[in-house]
Amino acid sequence: MTYKGSCHCGKISFEVEGELAGAMSCNCSICSRKGALMWFVPRAALTVTAADEDMGTYTFNKHVIKHRFCKHCGIHPYGEGVDPKGNEMAAINIRCLGDIDLASIPVQEFDGRSV
């Protein structure tokens, strides 16, 4: 299935292909502050439409995850990184997807503070 999403102002829009069967809520210092619910997909499943000057990138700790955000509205629609096997991945903030019922998505808790 193809899902469409965006930041609040729409400067960053995207499409992601996959089966949204669940999401993850992480309690690390950044995810808990953002309130993001993340859905992990192969990076190739994500198509982003945004001008480079509209997008910001934030990294912290080990600097392995690129947290992408809109420089205009500040919303974090997705992040990019590599899984333990070396595959490029995207972490989609499902709160930025349109036309989904968030209450129907199972959410798994992840203890990112301990990592």
| Residue 30: inside a domain | yes
Q: How many CB atoms lie under 10 A from the CB of residue 106?
A: 7
The chain-wide mean pLDDT, for the chain, equals: 95
Rounded mean pLDDT of 91-115? 94
| Residue 19: inside a domain | yes
Token pair listed for 76: 């974090």
| Residue 43: inside a domain | yes
CATH number for the domain harbouring residue 69: 2.170.150.70
Q: How confident is the model at residue 62 (pLDDT cuts 50, 70, 90)?
A: confident
Domains in the chain, number: 1
Radius of gyration of the chain (CA): 13
Is the pLDDT at 6 greater than 90? The verdict is yes
Residues of the domain holding 9 = 2-110
| Residue 115: inside a domain | no
DSSP tag of 113: G
Measured CA distances, 31 to 19, 22, 112, 113 (Å): 22, 17, 9, 10
| Residue 48: inside a domain | yes
CA distance 33 to 81: 20
pTM score = 0.93
| Residue 51: inside a domain | yes
What is the chain's percent helix, strand, coil content, to nearest 5? 20, 40, 40
